[in-house]
Structure 1
Amino acid sequence: MKINPITCAVLAALAVTRVSYADGTTQPASVPAPQTTQTNQTGPSAQPDSNGQPSSAGASTLGAITVTAQHTLEDIQDVPITIQAFTGTTLQQLNIQTANDLIKYLPNVTLAENGPGQGNIYMRGLSTGFLGNQSSASIAPFPNVAVYLDDQSMQFPARNLDIYMVDMERLEVLEGPQGTLFGGGAEAGAVRYITNKPNLDKVSGSVEAGVSATDGGGPNNSTNAVLNFPIIPGTLAVRGVIYNDHQGGYIDNVPSTFTREPTDGGGAMAPYVAAGGTSVSNNYSVAKNDWNPVDYQGARLSALWKINDDWNFLIAESYQNLDANGQSSTYPIGTDGQKLGTDQITAFVPAWNDDHFTNTAWTLNGQIGDLSLVYTGGYTNRHISEQQDYTNYSRSAGGMYYQCTGTSAGLASTGKPICYSPTGYWNDHVNSTHQSHELRLSTPEDYRFRVIGGLYYEDFNIDDHMDFNYKTIPSCTPGNLASALAGGYPCVANAESSPGVVMPDNTAFGEVEQRGYKQEAAFGSMSYDIIPDVLTATAGTRYYHYSEWQTGTEFYTTSAQVNVPNGTYVGNDTVMNYHQTYHGFKSRANLLWHISPNTMVYYTFSQGFRPGGFNRTSSDVAKLDGEAQYKKPISYAPDTLTNNELGFKTTFFDDRVLLNGSLYDMRWDNVQMQFFNPLVLGNTTFAVNGPNYKVQGLELQFQAKITDNLSVISSGSLNHSRQTNSPCLVNNIPGSAGFNECIVETGAAGAVTSFANPFGEVGSVPAFSPRSQANLRLRYDWTLLGNYNAFWQIGASYTGSMYNQPATYPNGEGVTDITTVELRYLQGAYTTYDASIGVAKDSWNFSLYGTNLGNSHASVFTSSAQFIESEVPIHPRVIGLKLGFKF
């Protein structure tokens, strides 16, 4: 049954938390009122004035920030987990609009991506690698870091939603498992985007415009406007924001040819080259400079209705369109083996990623006696259309199969050897809906014994139509078929995704599938002040129940389609109709001790998990002397994380210095891993549950007011991540030789080779797990010429070296004949530098800024996902100007 989100919100006769402030106003817990002492835990200390500039009030102290990481308003220094938070003012001061801008300020957080909105966030090195985007909506495991827009989950397999950060109240990054309060998907942590809410009493707004130049790239420009308007002062207000951000391209798609070589396909191309059955192709029609521009366009409109002193209702509608053209990756070596320059690529087809979403969210708040309740819900509709070049797949045996005929290496072995165009690509269309509802009940925060509990329901659906368009053998039109039957070159009938559903001529393989789950959960947490204001114990748990499914078809092209009419159904599809349920408990407990009002130490035990999933098909692979040794599983189970953490949070010298730290030991068990080894394990990616990992680490946060004008902010992390066991891939084919034993050999008689354990060895390092990360910022604010507020700010960010895949995967260094998307590369350490300077007077402000001033081109994601070594570089140096007006 389809549930209209607006109807749900209006009909829900539920209540919420009410928070009272010193000025006597009330706001819902999910709609915090402005805090008179609010600053950024990791940003400038001075409280900004109405123009976003530091004021003199409280300038000599660090101030405080209020967060809702535990579903209640708390000073960040009282939350017994590692948490980083940025106010909206600090996000503006640091020129943070996208996830790429943010990640450099987050120690212990990495981002693997193929471009905007096409990546995964990892925390504390909890990763088993990242593949390309092809088929990711169908095959990628669900992420283990949750992404929230206010109270709505925005998680998506391998495609974290890239929310443009404008008019934000704050951003919270919660590290470590959050399975009790935030459920599945928050296994390693959560990122929470919290928007500004309407102000019932004040007309206000802002306009900001900026222009900038990218080193070696196209120009950039951005504008945004915000308006807050009380329709009925004190009772009803609306707030709207609109934005447009154009980022010029900086990657050049240089002219190139594609020449088939005898060594292609492991030597399978040699007969075609010898027979003269190949031709040279080129990309001249799509080659261009700065071919990867990105545009963000969006709007958000929210309304807050104060029904009475105890009740209010908030509704918000968000829209965003992300249009990323070209590719965000570069090639060190071009398609024909030529060495390329910085930020260059050789791609042969138009490429894009269009990603837009709408989100309706609502929160009904109220008070019943001493109890506070909050009901919040949301409905997200997301559409993605992506196309990327896959021409380099043509050098593999798999690519040749769909493009060549005349030998056993091609799809048809009859006739004179011939190969058609090597140009190939994939095209993915994804539609997704995500609906959630949560009801929370809590006792007053001043009670010595406090309780919070709730119910949660979630319905997540993905509809994915993925086409791999690299079949260039002519289709069997009437003319081509007649020629083939008369002794001419063979033709191949078009694939069908299901009986009667015929694919385009060049579509060789793909899937039309639906995937998703429904989740019901109940959670509760209790806190007791053993010694009021000194010693507090908390314990909680969450019960969850998942009903998960995957349906549809995977279709492919076989020899049965050679020389038969288009439209002939030959059973070239595999039907998916998979279902599973699982349930369990995830818990947490902590002990918090305020040694003094400014010094807190804590111990936290917490558990997290992420949902399991399905593989598209189950086939017999890992053959030895023609006999299969392994059947790919239909499904894989959730993996789990257990965290034990000791931490402290302190301030010194009358709140002029802050030092926070944490030590943690995390055990990641039954970890989900994906494999793609066409030569041994079949030509489709599949996932299984594999080894366990242990992560032990340290994180520190430091902030100080050196003087009333000078602030220093720094944070860093050090991790020791290792695999702790080494399971093997076990022969699971009953009746076969070696059943229930580890697979150690594969291959045909006379060509048997050893089979490396795909799960790796004890002590190996997980992917995207740099040993160290750190950042440092200095900011100086002063008064210029008596009535101008001026500032300068400089910063540096360091990320240590890391691998893109687990240690078990083949080393990609120097490999040119690429047969897998899972080659392992070392991504080198890098440091970036940023700076800005600005001035403000009255309602106006102006700033000059620069990012990546050292113009680093370090790779944030190196892979063989397109059957060629590719690197996603850091955005080159940008120098820009911003002008703003606030009222």
Structure 2
Amino acid sequence: MKINPITCAVLAALAVSRVSYADTTTPPAPATQPATASANSNAANTPSAANAATLGTVNVTAQHTVQDIQQVPITIQAFTGATLQQMNVQDFQDVIKYLPNVTFATNGPGQGNIYMRGLSTGFLGNQSSASIAPFPNVAVYLDDQSMQFPARNLDIYMVDMERLEVLEGPQGTLFGGGAEAGAVRYITNKPNLDKVSGSAEASAGATAGGGPNNSANAVLNFPIIPGTLAVRGVIYNDHQGGYIDNVPSTYTRQATDGGGAMAPYVAAGSAAGTNNYSVAQNNWNPVDYQGARLSALWKINDDWNFLIAESYQNLDANGQSSTYPTGTDGQKLGTDQITSFVPAWNNDHFTNTAWTLNGQIGDLSLVYTGGYTNRRISEQQDYTSYSRSAGGMYYQCTGTSAGLSSAGKPICYSPVGYWNDHVNSTHQSHELRLMTPEDGRLRAIGGLYYEDFNINDRMDFNYKTIPSCTPANLTAALAGGYPCVADAESSPGIVMPDNTAFGEVEKRGYKQEAVFGSLSYDIVPDVLTVTAGTRYYHYSEWQTGTEFYTTAAQVNVPNGTYVGNDSVMNYHQDYHGFKSRANLLWNITPDMMLYYTFSQGFRPGGFNRTTSEVAKLDGVPQYKKPTSYAPDTLTNNEIGFKSTFFDDRLLLNASIYDMRWNNVQMQFFNPLVLGNTTFAVNGPNYKVDGGELQFQARITDGLSLMGSASLNHAKQTNSPCLVDNIPGSAAYNSCIVATGAAGAVSSFANPFGEVGSVPAFSPRSQYNLRLRYDWTLAGDYKAFWQVGASHMGSMYNQPATYPSGDGVTDITTVELRYLQAAYTTYDASIGVAKDNWNMSIFGTNLGNSHASTFTSSAEFIESQVPIHPRVIGVKVGFKF
């Protein structure tokens, strides 16, 4: 069992800590409010002894002000830190099962996209995602700092959290671009100025069919100057054992590879193969989270306070999180198995510095918050199956027209290929907000926002196995031996590593300036309130660098020869506009609220790496890839009902909505027809209707029930086509309907989907249920048991007109469409606590489901990312 030194330190702390208990349920002033404000959100769902049979109150800051969640006129789900601990939530993959109307397409930790209410057009692989993936339409925030990233939502480890807020529907007015479909907000605990407190927790567990797990974390809150200055620190380590086996396998070239182009090589007896014996191993995908957070709160005086926080996290995911139903040589594989030929990893490191100044200027509340995030990613993944395509053969064979060089006797080299991505990103933001008193009949909030987001990406596709032109190889080639191919050079002076056939060295990002404001007026105090707000935004967006590739000009020339085989990117665009919202809130009774919300959202546009001409018909191209694509937009109309009954023993919330998603960004990658680089365009419109239900009930003083469900109906409302945009071609200004050479013309399916079809990652239904019972045993022992179930409906991974992947073994595109079957998971835990100690036994995915959460052909082989297998564990904790 792998145990990190951090784990050992926390286990030691558990053994020796003997500090008197101090009540930690009263948090400090939230960072979004002045120090005089009070929002006891840590105590939410933890009623006092005098009110033990009620549900309690959850306070949120979804609208940049402290509010009871039952008074927020949007569909919102919030989990307090205590609830996250009760549900054994550590990362977003753990909490997704309790979030109806939220889906998560992921290639592994830190490698996914969050979708809400079915607003998705599909998800591709991680390769080049930093360069080519559209910006997400669900924003991720750590406190007040945006953590969004194309196709790589930051996987924040959830420890010492005040709460998690999930805001559904457009949040473009307060949270800007990227919050088009909603926002996920991680709210951390802040220092307490008055009490020394802390905790330590450790766990160990076993994964069905996999390696052992262990985790530990420790929290300390310490007032340096009681009432004036306090610090809070948290440290954590979590090791999750692997459960996917990379089984021994061979790779044998087939005559059918590359659409039959491999046949001459097989006939010549040069069908090179290989095996993966050097990297095959069981449980090869362990994951480690290590991190720390240190924050300090200074109460300057009764009106002003200042908070600063430093966060650090390193996520180290080895191997791959995907499995293969069929191995690389066509063999049927077992559950949670894969055949990979190279070492694989995803290392994701971030540091974040954030600060918040709260104060009063007369009757006005002022908040200035800022942050700077540096994120570094290094990832390598197997790409060997690409060798069966015509593209892969091109870089690995010589001697016929299918290879890079037609000279000499046909020969192929190793089929082993992989890609390696190095990303460095910086994200800086500043926001200044002013608010009028919350008890006024007319209330206002206004602010300024600035954001600077930069991504540097170095992406290498390492599948060129033809020998490079070292002096010895070049001499042999020029003397009549087998050809060599010089290492690629991008932008004179940047020589690519040996085996790198294709990739990019690029920079991408934007600057955003925004002004926002909102007014609320109580038409009838405490009964009827109207709110209206808007946001003006201005984006300056860019993408620069080069995309490089290997050509015949590199055959038999010295390594480092620049042959101009790169495409230069130097793209810039500006856009601006307004996004608005309006609410009408009616408190029918003090415990029953009805609301109507109109809201708008958007996400930034982007650029394509090249503008090559593709979709050839009889050798004549019909389509030129556009340089850029525009933002898409979302308009939401929502009616909701929030209520509590039976003296706060039953909570019932419901909402229905109608959303219109227009000018939607879509990506295409079809090497045989649309070229060997992914590109994006604006395409269809979608209409999404649905409803959501949330309920909580305290059946008795100790027995509570909570659950939520969603029913979603999303459909495409128009069907644009890919229009021939090259003057002089036969179908200029018409829909492209056919491609191919004379005598081999084939129809071209509309890649935008069809009217009435359901978009990708849009399950019809989702629901979950959790039952918990707390009671007291003799001797002041407090015990509990808890059971839960979660259901995810079936969904597709791609639009309706994409080719089906069922039964396809000769994969030539990353866009195959697979049905991801519905599944249900079950969890349970039981525990006991006394004084400062607590212990519990927990189980997740008790049915040991292996359902796929993301099925894809992104690596030119069918892959599935399975649910984490069953885990049984024990957890022990200490608080003081």
Q: TM-score range, shorter-chain basis?
A: over 0.9
Deviation string, structure 1 residues 573-605 (Cα, Å, up to 9, x no partner): 111000000000000001000000010000000
Amino acid at match of 2:32: A
Deviation at 1:737, TM superposition (A): 2.3
Deviation at 1:38, TM superposition (A): 5.8
Amino acid at match of 1:235: T
Q: Are the equivalent residues in 2 in contact too, given 1:463–1:514 (CA < 8 A)?
A: yes
Please show how residues 487-498 of structure 1 align to structure 2 within 5 Å.
Answer: 487-498=480-491
- What is aligned with 2:22? none
Please show how residues 112-511 of structure 1 align to structure 2 within 5 Å.
Answer: 112-511=105-504
- What is aligned with 1:11? none
Deviation at 1:24, TM superposition (A): 13
Deviation at 1:760, TM superposition (A): 1.3
- What is aligned with 2:19? none
Deviation at 1:29, TM superposition (A): 3.0
Deviation at 1:28, TM superposition (A): 4.8
- What is aligned with 1:60? 53
Cα 1:295–1:24, aligned 2, differ >3 Å: closer, same or farther? closer
792, 806, 811: which one aligns with 1:813: 806
Does the residue aligned with 1:100 lie in a helix, a strand or coil?
Answer: helix
Q: In the alignment, is residue 29 of structure 1 matched against residue 37 of structure 2?
A: no
Q: After the TM superposition, which of the residue ranges 843-852 and 561-570 deviates more from structure 2?
A: 561-570
Please give the alpha-carbon distance, in whole angstroms, between the structure 1 residues aligned to 2:169 and 2:41.
28
Does the residue aligned with 2:175 lie in a helix, a strand or coil?
Answer: coil
Deviation at 1:625, TM superposition (A): 1.4
Cα 1:107–1:24, aligned 2, differ >3 Å: closer, same or farther? closer
Cα 1:287–1:531, aligned 2, differ >3 Å: closer, same or farther? same
Deviation at 1:744, TM superposition (A): 1.2
- What is aligned with 2:604? 611
Does the residue aligned with 2:722 lie in a helix, a strand or coil?
Answer: coil
- What is aligned with 2:101? 108
Q: After the TM superposition, which of the residue ranges 563-572 and 744-753 deviates more from structure 2?
A: 744-753
Q: Are the equivalent residues in 2 in contact too, given 1:510–1:554 (CA < 8 A)?
A: yes
Q: Are the equivalent residues in 2 in contact too, given 1:46–1:56 (CA < 8 A)?
A: no
Amino acid at match of 1:814: G
Q: Are the equivalent residues in 2 in contact too, given 1:167–1:196 (CA < 8 A)?
A: yes
In structure 2, list runs of 5 or more residues that go unmatched: 1-24
Does the residue aligned with 1:181 lie in a helix, a strand or coil?
Answer: helix
- What is aligned with 2:14? none
Please give the alpha-carbon distance, in whole angstroms, between the structure 2 residues aligned to 1:279 and 1:548.
46
Deviation at 1:46, TM superposition (A): 3.7
Please give the alpha-carbon distance, in whole angstroms, between the structure 2 residues aligned to 1:414 and 1:667.
56
What is the aligned-residue RMSD (CA, Å)?
1.3
- What is aligned with 1:519? 512
Q: In the alignment, is residue 75 of structure 1 matched against residue 68 of structure 2?
A: yes
Q: In the alignment, is residue 632 of structure 1 matched against residue 625 of structure 2?
A: yes
Deviation string, structure 1 residues 757-791 (Cα, Å, up to 9, x no partner): 11111011100000000000000000011400100
Deviation at 1:73, TM superposition (A): 0.3
Q: Are the equivalent residues in 2 in contact too, given 1:177–1:608 (CA < 8 A)?
A: yes
Deviation at 1:483, TM superposition (A): 1.1
Please give the alpha-carbon distance, in whole angstroms, between the structure 1 residues aligned to 2:148 and 2:72.
24
- What is aligned with 1:544? 537
- What is aligned with 1:601? 594
Deviation at 1:176, TM superposition (A): 0.2
Cα 1:370–1:590, aligned 2, differ >3 Å: closer, same or farther? same
Q: In the alignment, is residue 754 of structure 1 matched against residue 747 of structure 2?
A: yes
Please give the alpha-carbon distance, in whole angstroms, between the structure 1 residues aligned to 2:243 and 2:743.
51
- What is aligned with 1:585? 578
Amino acid at match of 1:240: G
Does the residue aligned with 1:180 lie in a helix, a strand or coil?
Answer: helix
Deviation string, structure 1 residues 404-442 (Cα, Å, up to 9, x no partner): 111100001111111100000000000000000000011
- What is aligned with 1:682? 675
Does the residue aligned with 2:134 lie in a helix, a strand or coil?
Answer: coil
Amino acid at match of 1:29: T
Deviation string, structure 1 residues 324-371 (Cα, Å, up to 9, x no partner): 000000000000000000000000000000000000000011101101
- What is aligned with 1:9? none
- What is aligned with 2:547? 554
Deviation string, structure 1 residues 95-125 (Cα, Å, up to 9, x no partner): 0010110100100000000000000000001
Deviation at 1:564, TM superposition (A): 1.0
Please give the alpha-carbon distance, in whole angstroms, between the structure 2 residues aligned to 1:30 and 1:566.
61
Q: Are the equivalent residues in 1 in contact too, given 2:803–2:815 (CA < 8 A)?
A: yes
Deviation at 1:35, TM superposition (A): 4.7
Amino acid at match of 2:529: T
Amino acid at match of 1:275: A
Q: In the alignment, is residue 702 of structure 1 matched against residue 695 of structure 2?
A: yes
Does the residue aligned with 1:104 lie in a helix, a strand or coil?
Answer: helix
- What is aligned with 2:656? 663
619, 642, 650: which one aligns with 1:649: 642
Amino acid at match of 1:502: V
Please give the alpha-carbon distance, in whole angstroms, between the structure 1 residues aligned to 2:858 and 2:698.
47
Q: Are the equivalent residues in 2 in contact too, given 1:46–1:61 (CA < 8 A)?
A: no
Cα 1:286–1:442, aligned 2, differ >3 Å: closer, same or farther? same
Cα 1:30–1:876, aligned 2, differ >3 Å: closer, same or farther? farther
- What is aligned with 1:781? 774
Deviation at 1:58, TM superposition (A): 2.1
Deviation at 1:808, TM superposition (A): 2.0
Cα 1:758–1:25, aligned 2, differ >3 Å: closer, same or farther? closer
- What is aligned with 2:21? none
Please give the alpha-carbon distance, in whole angstroms, between the structure 2 residues aligned to 1:466 and 1:868.
21
Please give the alpha-carbon distance, in whole angstroms, between the structure 1 residues aligned to 2:752 and 2:821.
24
Please give the alpha-carbon distance, in whole angstroms, between the structure 2 residues aligned to 1:78 and 1:604.
13
Please give the alpha-carbon distance, in whole angstroms, between the structure 2 residues aligned to 1:298 and 1:36.
27
Taking only the aligned residue pairs, the percentage that are identical comes to 84
Q: In the alignment, is residue 534 of structure 1 matched against residue 527 of structure 2?
A: yes
Please give the alpha-carbon distance, in whole angstroms, between the structure 1 residues aligned to 2:505 and 2:51.
59
Please show how residues 35-50 of structure 1 align to structure 2 within 5 Å.
Answer: 35-36=39-40, 45-47=45-47
Q: After the TM superposition, which of the residue ranges 563-572 and 314-323 deviates more from structure 2?
A: 563-572
Q: Are the equivalent residues in 1 in contact too, given 2:845–2:870 (CA < 8 A)?
A: yes
Deviation at 1:738, TM superposition (A): 2.1
Q: Are the equivalent residues in 2 in contact too, given 1:176–1:188 (CA < 8 A)?
A: yes
Q: Are the equivalent residues in 2 in contact too, given 1:731–1:742 (CA < 8 A)?
A: yes
Q: In the alignment, is residue 574 of structure 1 matched against residue 567 of structure 2?
A: yes
Deviation at 1:486, TM superposition (A): 1.4
Deviation at 1:839, TM superposition (A): 0.4
Please give the alpha-carbon distance, in whole angstroms, between the structure 2 residues aligned to 1:856 and 1:73.
40
In structure 1, list runs of 5 or more residues that go unmatched: 1-21, 48-54
Please give the alpha-carbon distance, in whole angstroms, between the structure 2 residues aligned to 1:31 and 1:538.
23
Deviation at 1:372, TM superposition (A): 0.6
Cα 1:39–1:706, aligned 2, differ >3 Å: closer, same or farther? farther
Q: Are the equivalent residues in 2 in contact too, given 1:46–1:58 (CA < 8 A)?
A: no
Q: After the TM superposition, which of the residue ranges 499-508 and 634-643 deviates more from structure 2?
A: 499-508
Deviation at 1:479, TM superposition (A): 1.1
Amino acid at match of 1:64: T
Q: Are the equivalent residues in 2 in contact too, given 1:39–1:62 (CA < 8 A)?
A: no
Deviation string, structure 1 residues 529-568 (Cα, Å, up to 9, x no partner): 0000000000000000000000000000001111111111
Q: Are the equivalent residues in 1 in contact too, given 2:399–2:407 (CA < 8 A)?
A: yes
Q: Are the equivalent residues in 2 in contact too, given 1:726–1:759 (CA < 8 A)?
A: yes
Cα 1:470–1:736, aligned 2, differ >3 Å: closer, same or farther? same
